[in-house]
């Protein structure tokens, strides 16, 4: 009841927590610029249907073409036949890696269009190629490099990226490009002497026109000025002081039938159609960060984050477009030629045209190209990959201690306890409510004593009161967003009357960093009642404003530099996340890796921490779509992602909760969370057998932490996602292009299909199109796939997870149960060698201290494990080797952009295998080795360690089918060689020889 007393006023304005209130959010038909863009598309389609010529009004003035003599760029003037007096400028660049950047802006306009979106997303200005040259002809200008060619047609303006002569991406091929220029508002015409005046039905006077004025631009723009100068939605009016400034662009993929990306939406991974015959949805996909309570599990509605990146895929190639725009954007998708092509139509409220064409041609190439633009996921703290326990709210210090005690009593692992908004006095973030949290530092130290951490919420809205020093400082320094009249913007959120930090102001960064300092500052507030074991949760940063239009900020609000909120809305949340991550990193010296969770995000947010999919429901549909959403975020760079286990709203039945934990352990970010009105559902509260099942599920996550951390190292360097949909790993397997309910974990070879159906006892799993064997992770029974792919039925009772090891893989796990992941740092490893059809296997392990940045100076261990089969079947020798990857690929271990010592650039030459971290774990051993799929029982097993002699090992043998058996039947038990204590360590080179 205390919470109700504190927040009753706020709740009166908060979204209804019973169901999504669709009426609070616009559809395309309620958005003036989206209506105009869609109407443009309709007119073009009607013209084609009527066999009427439709030609884009935009063309290049070939006489203005200026090709750079020093790099692969050119500029040109663009003219519009609609407005001959309006000037536009075009620039194309080809980057060193083949990415093409296309920029178009209004020149010498009445106002400046927002052109800074890319600068927030990019890690640096990309290098333009000095080897590629543009060649101008009479009708176009071209650049050819490798298999790729870019052709820019002059009239009408069209940009085409080709590979081996085949169209990959086409801009303005349908003639829908339209950049609404800035203009002066025409005032109503005054009545001149002698003109006839009439009165309409509402009593308004009008001048009688003798003849109707013909609008020569109506064929393209329509007859009326549709919401050019103001727009009403529910009770709000957007004043639109700059008038119309929207941008329409068609992006065609003529030879790609599948498109993915543009998160965040609750829908399938392969994006369904929104226009054309038999469209799945009636509204376009919307990118407009929004606080949507209990969102629909199948919708194009905008949610909390926006990444304007789209992959297009076929069996021949993968390409992508990154449209660097920060304003509200709607995207229509259709398939002009079914199963062959895709047309997308992007309609944005403001900004310039700034599009990056990523040529691929493989998914891995796309991830690398996008990572070079926007950066990779930061290598997270190791503990942050463990289990996070959260609810709104743990109500006191003693409540936190009691929850931790119960986890320990039940021997259930957990790494992090979370505090929602009720820790803060009157929801003044940073300020502890001493009635319920009288000893926050001591409470945190009690949690940290078991190697655990706390995460505490800090939202961007500041309570407007003189008793809140953070607000007072921000107000005095003018660090707050302003309203359209120049005063402090005021809205309502959890704190009541609030103002919002303007993170676009460069001076805010240092000030925000100060707030997180653990020591007292002279005359300035700092969070001294915190510790280095407290990390941060940024919520409500879309921004969410309970009494604002669409539960957000008025679009005519003003940010630093004079930009309207409409220009930067989708970027806003990323900047708050960025500054908070920076603040946590800088609060100690030397710095520790920060963990900061965000709800709102944009392209580039992956550099700053994790995200979750927001306020989901405890339903089977939401459990299932959460997997698809995490995959969509992952391929768009935001791979440290997860959905709230159990659903934020509702009280899931035990069966659902068990299945949701099975989903959660295979999410990169793994947190259970619940609404304040739900029943408590910590895993120790479950009845048997559910409690024991969930405990085993959680322990499986902890056993697999070496796999997860190794996968995160890879994504931090290459950009390849931690969880990968089928098309990423098998880009030529057409049957897998629509798969989004099963996926792979990194490059490990682990394949999982979580069960999301009530009452299921069996699951259907698709095995990729390859001649390979897949082993059940738990039972080690084998399933052979085929070159055309294969569907298998596997047991999936409540305590079973369809989980497989691909042949050719070696998996490293830590099998000893612990209370938290830091307590596992010196635990031994188990190797599972899953032999493939040819008797080969390989895997990797990456380790560092998991918390500091010492790895950027070379303090890490990166090992490769390889199994090979030599000789004929009956006398074959299987060798399993441990190799130091630092000696051969040392420069690839860490993202070179994150190396802290430029003078000591990491390489195979500078790598030290006896670095400080390697020395600290030199005693960590391999305690068990399991080999699956051997052809016959060994005659001997020996280990040879570098610098030591051979050792005969003790082993056990279980008869079963060999990986190479061409007559293998589904579900056959694989042979198992079990070597206990092979007497080898994890940091040394060694070879184990298995003589058959």
Q: Which one of 252, 539, 556, 884 is the catalytic residue?
A: 539
Task: Give the three-state DSSP class for 557.
Answer: coil
Residue 775 gets the label, from left (phi > 0), alpha (psi -120 to 50) or beta, of beta
Q: How many CA atoms lie within 13 A of 400 on its CB side?
A: 31
Only one residue has tokens 């707050």, namely 480
Edge-first strand order for the sheet with 416-419 is: 641-642, 610-612, 596-598, 534-538, 453-457, 416-419, 388-389, 671-672
Residue of 227, 238, 291, 615 marked active site: 615
Residues near 319 by Cβ (< 8 Å), separated by ≥ 6?
A: 161, 168, 169, 253, 256, 311, 312, 357, 358, 359, 360, 361, 366
Max Cα distance, the chain (Å): 114
Give yes or no for a contact between 267 and 283, defined as CB atoms under 8 angstroms apart.
Answer: no
Cis, bond preceding 37 (omega within 30 deg of 0): no
Q: What is the dihedral of CA 565, 566, 571, 573, to 10 degrees?
A: 60
**Distances in whole angstroms, Cα of residue 520 to Cα of each of 82, 159, 509, 528, 588:** 62, 57, 18, 6, 13
**927 Cβ partners below 8 Å, 6+ apart?**
815, 828, 829, 830, 980, 981
Residue 222 CB neighbour total at 10 angstroms: 16
Tokens of 883: 């190799």
Going from the C-alpha of 333 to that of each of 219, 272, 330, 575, the distances in angstroms are 23, 7, 10, 30
Beta bridge partners of 727: none
- What's the rounded Cα separation, in Å, for the pair 160 and 153? 8
- HSE, CB side, 13 Å, CA atoms: give it for residue 610: 31
Catalytic residue, candidates 221, 250, 542, 965: 542
Tokens 């119960």 correspond to 406
Please give the distance of CA 391 from its chain centroid, rounded to a whole number. Answer: 23
The answer to whether 907 and 809 are in contact (CB under 8 A) is no
The candidate with the shortest Cα–Cα distance to 385, out of 822, 852, 826, is: 822
Nearest Cα neighbor of 249 from 337, 321, 151 is 321
Q: Which of 371, 375, 368, 379 is nearest to 856 (CA)?
A: 379
Nearest to 90 by CA among 70, 68, 112, 75: 75
H-run or E-run covering 956: strand 955-958
Assign 345 to helix, strand or coil.
Answer: strand
Is the backbone peptide bond immediately before 689 cis, with ω within 30 degrees of 0?
yes
Cβ(640)–Cβ(611) below 8 Å: yes
- What the block records as the tokens of 752 is 């999982």
Q: Is there a catalytic annotation at residue 542?
A: yes
Q: Where are the beta strands (DSSP E) in 738-815?
A: 743-745, 750-752, 762-767, 773-776, 781-784, 790-795, 803-806, 809-813
Q: Verify whether residue 252 is a known catalytic residue.
A: no
The β-bridge relationship of strands 809-813 and 803-806 is unpaired
Tokens of 499: 């103002």
DSSP code of residue 384: G
CB 844 within 8 Å of CB 862? yes
Helices 654-664 + 620-635 axis angle, to 10 = 10
DSSP assignment of 705-740 equals HHHHHHHHHHHHHH---SEE-HHHH-TT-GGGTT--
Catalytic residue list contains 539:
yes
Active-site residue set: 539, 542, 615
């Amino acid at each position: 009841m205390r919470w109700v007393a504190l927040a009753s006023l706020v709740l009166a304005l908060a979204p209804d927590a019973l169901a999504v209130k669709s009426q609070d959010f616009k559809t395309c038909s309620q958005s003036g610029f989206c209506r105009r863009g869609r109407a443009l598309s309709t007119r073009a389609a009607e013209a084609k249907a009527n066999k009427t010529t439709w030609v884009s009004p935009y063309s290049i003035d070939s006489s203005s073409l200026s090709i750079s003599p020093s790099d692969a760029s050119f500029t040109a003037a663009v003219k519009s036949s609609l407005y001959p007096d309006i000037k536009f400028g075009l620039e194309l660049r080809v980057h060193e890696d083949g990415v093409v950047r296309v920029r178009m802006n209004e020149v010498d306009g009445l106002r400046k269009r927002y052109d800074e979106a890319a600068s927030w997303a990019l890690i640096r200005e990309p290098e333009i190629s000095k080897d590629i040259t543009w060649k101008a002809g009479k009708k176009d200008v071209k650049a050819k490099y490798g298999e790729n060619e870019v052709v820019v047609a002059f009239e009408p303006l069209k940009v085409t990226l080709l590979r081996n002569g085949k169209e990959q991406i086409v801009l303005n091929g349908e003639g829908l490009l339209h950049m609404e220029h800035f203009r002066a508002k025409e005032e109503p015409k005054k009545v001149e002497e002698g003109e006839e005046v009439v009165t309409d039905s509402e009593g308004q006077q009008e001048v009688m026109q003798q003849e109707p004025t013909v609008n020569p631009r109506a064929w393209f723009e329509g007859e009326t000025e549709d919401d050019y100068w103001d727009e009403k939605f529910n009770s709000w009016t957007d004043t639109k002081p700059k008038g119309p400034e929207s941008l329409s662009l068609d992006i065609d993929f003529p030879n790609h039938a599948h498109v993915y990306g543009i998160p965040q939406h609750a829908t399938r991974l392969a994006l369904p159609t929104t226009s054309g015959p038999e469209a799945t949805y009636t509204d376009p996909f919307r990118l407009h960060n929004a606080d949507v309570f209990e969102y629909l599990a199948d919708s194009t509605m905008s949610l909390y984050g926006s990444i304007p990146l789209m992959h297009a895929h076929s069996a021949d190639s993968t390409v992508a477009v990154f449209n660097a725009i920060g304003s509200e954007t709607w995207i229509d998708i259709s398939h002009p030629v079914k199963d062959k092509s895709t047309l997308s139509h992007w309609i944005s409220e403001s900004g310039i045209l700034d599009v990056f064409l990523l040529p691929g041609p493989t998914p891995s190439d796309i991830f690398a190209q996008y990572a070079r633009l926007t950066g990779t996921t930061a290598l997270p703290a190791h503990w942050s990959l463990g289990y996070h326990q959260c609810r709104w709210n743990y109500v006191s210090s003693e409540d936190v201690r009691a929850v931790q005690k119960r986890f320990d009593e039940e021997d259930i692992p957990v790494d992090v306890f979370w505090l929602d908004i009720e820790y803060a006095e009157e929801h003044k973030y940073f300020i502890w409510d001493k009635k319920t949290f009288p000893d926050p530092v001591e409470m945190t130290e009690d949690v940290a004593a078991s190697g655990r951490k706390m995460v505490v919420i800090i939202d961007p809205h500041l309570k407007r009161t003189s008793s809140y020093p953070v607000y007072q400082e921000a107000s005095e320094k003018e660090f707050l967003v302003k309203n359209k009249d120049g005063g402090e913007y005021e809205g309502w959120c959890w704190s009541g009357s609030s103002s919002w930090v303007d993170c676009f102001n460069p001076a805010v960064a240092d000030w925000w960093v100060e707030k997180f300092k653990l020591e007292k500052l002279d005359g300035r507030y700092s969070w001294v009642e915190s510790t280095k074991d407290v990390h941060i949760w940024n919520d409500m940063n879309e921004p969410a404003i309970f009494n604002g239009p669409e539960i957000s900020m008025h679009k005519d609000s003003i940010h630093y530099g004079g930009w309207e909120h409409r220009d930067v809305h989708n970027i806003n949340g990323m900047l708050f996340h960025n500054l908070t991550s920076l603040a946590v990193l800088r609060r100690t010296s030397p710095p520790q890796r920060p963990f900061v969770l965000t709800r709102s995000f944009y392209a580039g947010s992956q550099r700053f921490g994790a995200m979750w999919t927001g306020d989901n429901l405890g339903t089977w549909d939401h459990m299932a779509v959460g997997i698809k959403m995490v995959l969509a975020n992952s391929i768009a760079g935001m791979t440290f992602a997860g959905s709230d286990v159990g659903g934020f709203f509702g009280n899931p039945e035990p069966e659902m909760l068990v299945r949701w934990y099975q989903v959660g352990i295979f999410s990169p970010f793994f947190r259970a969370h619940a609404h304040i009105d739900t029943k408590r559902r910590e895993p120790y509260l479950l009845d048997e057998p559910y409690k024991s099942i969930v405990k085993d599920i959680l322990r499986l996550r902890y056993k697999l932490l070496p796999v997860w951390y190794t996968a995160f190292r890879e994504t931090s360097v290459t950009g390849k996602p931690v969880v990968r949909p089928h098309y990423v790993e098998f880009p030529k397997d057409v049957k897998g292009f629509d798969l989004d309910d099963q996926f792979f974990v990194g490059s490990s070879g682990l394949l999982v299909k979580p069960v999301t159906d009530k009452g299921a006892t069996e699951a259907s799993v698709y095995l990729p199109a390859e001649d390979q064997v897949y082993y059940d992770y738990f039972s080690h029974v084998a399933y052979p796939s085929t070159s055309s792919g294969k569907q298998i039925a596997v047991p999936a009772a409540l305590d079973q997870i369809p989980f497989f090891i691909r042949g050719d893989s070696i998996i490293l796990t830590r099998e000893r149960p612990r209370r938290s992941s830091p307590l596992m740092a010196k635990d031994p490893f188990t190797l599972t060698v899953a032999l493939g059809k040819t008797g080969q296997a390989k895997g990797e392990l990456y380790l560092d201290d998991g918390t500091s940045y010492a790895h950027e100076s070379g303090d890490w261990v990166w090992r490769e494990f390889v199994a090979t089969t030599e000789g004929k079947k009956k006398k074959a020798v299987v060798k399993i080797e441990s190799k130091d990857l630092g000696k051969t690929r040392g420069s690839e271990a860490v993202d070179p952009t994150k190396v802290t010592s430029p003078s000591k650039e990491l390489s195979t030459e500078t790598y030290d295998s006896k670095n400080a971290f390697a020395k600290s774990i030199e005693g960590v051993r391999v305690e068990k080795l399991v080999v699956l799929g051997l052809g016959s029982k060994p005659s001997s097993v020996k280990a040879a360690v570098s610098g030591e002699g051979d050792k005969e090992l003790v082993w056990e043998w279980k008869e079963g089918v060999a990986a190479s058996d061409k007559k293998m039947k589904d579900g056959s038990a694989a042979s198992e060689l079990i070597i206990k204590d092979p007497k080898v360590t994890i940091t040394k080179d060694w070879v184990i020889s298995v003589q058959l």
